[in-house]
Amino acid sequence: MTRIGFIGLGNMGGPMAANLARAGHAVQVFDLVPESLERAIKAGCIVAGDAREAVTGCDLAISMLPAGEHVRGLWLSGGQDLLGALPAGALVIDCSTIDVASARAVGAAAKARGIRFLDAPVSGGVAGAAAGTLTFIVGGESSDFEAAKPVLACMGQNLFHAGALGAGQIAKMCNNMLLAIHMAGTAEALALGVKEGLDPGVLSTIMGKSSGNNWSLERYNPWPGVMENAPASRGYEGGFMTRLMVKDLGLAMALAEHAHSAVPMGALARNLFNLHAAKGQGAKDFSSILELYRDNTDPG
């Protein structure tokens, strides 16, 4: 059993912490949302009074936060400076999806204090977090990655060492840019077929067995009622929010600018999701991009 401090119990962090507790670890958690703490208690976690208390006595700490500013504010001096609450040799795993500079800044500060640090953003969505089937995309020292594997395996099935510190974030940005592109394309294709009289379920099956198949179509279908467990079939609630996809696409665009890399399809996807969020849909799952392609006369 490992004593683990866990900060951030949102749609992803909450199920991840619960899976660690189910695996027999002592998980000390903190979040600013009372309802998230109540769910954590039911899952067998130990609720701390604040973030510092959550990591006290822990040799391993995990954070799952919305953006780089939150990660810096949590771990660095000038913010809550949680690094100062950890013993030398402790391992910090940040599972947030953030900018590369923030990941490297926290990692450098941790190293200066004798603390190990990994950036380990995840893929797999809320369903994957609940089922413990996430993909972890890890940047940092290979020895630290090996040390983290037993804990990461309690939350995910696919563990990848992408490279040096920050590499996890780079790989995640590339992945999410591609995800946004094929989700928008899937929604566009389904909307076209339905407008011409096709059943969305039948069309999804056809494309799923043809060259147009992709993860969004096969595992996360954006058309309501086609896939029972997809967010589209529960009002686009409880998934990966559109505003977070907009954030991730912004990170990808900044990365592309830094690399002098042309990303025309990524830029178009960002514009589409940004437009959707601007229409008041930022809190809905990103698969609700389908609604941009539908009008009130569409069936389904």
Q: How far apart are CA 279 and CA 31, in angstroms?
A: 29
Tokens 């279908």 identify what position? Answer: 221
Q: Which residue has the tokens 């954030």?
A: 247
- With 0-12 / 13-18 / 19 or more C-beta atoms within 10 angstroms meaning exposed / middle / buried, residue 278 is exposed
Residue 273, number of CB atoms within 10 A of its CB: 28
Cα(31)–Cα(274) distance, rounded to whole angstroms? 28
> b/e string for 26-56 if b means 16 or more Cβ within 10 A?
bbbbbbeeeebbebbeebebbbbeebbebbb
Cα–Cα distance, 36 to 253 (Å, whole number): 32
Which entry of 172, 195, 209, 247 is annotated as an active-site residue? 172
As beta bridge partners, residue 137 has: 160
Distance CA 122, CA 248 (A): 12
111 is catalytic: no
Is residue 137 within 8 Å of residue 121, measured between CB atoms? yes
Q: Are 70 and 51 in contact (CB under 8 A)?
A: no
Amino acid, res. 225: G
d(CA 90, CA 34): 28
Q: Kindly list the catalytic residues.
A: 172
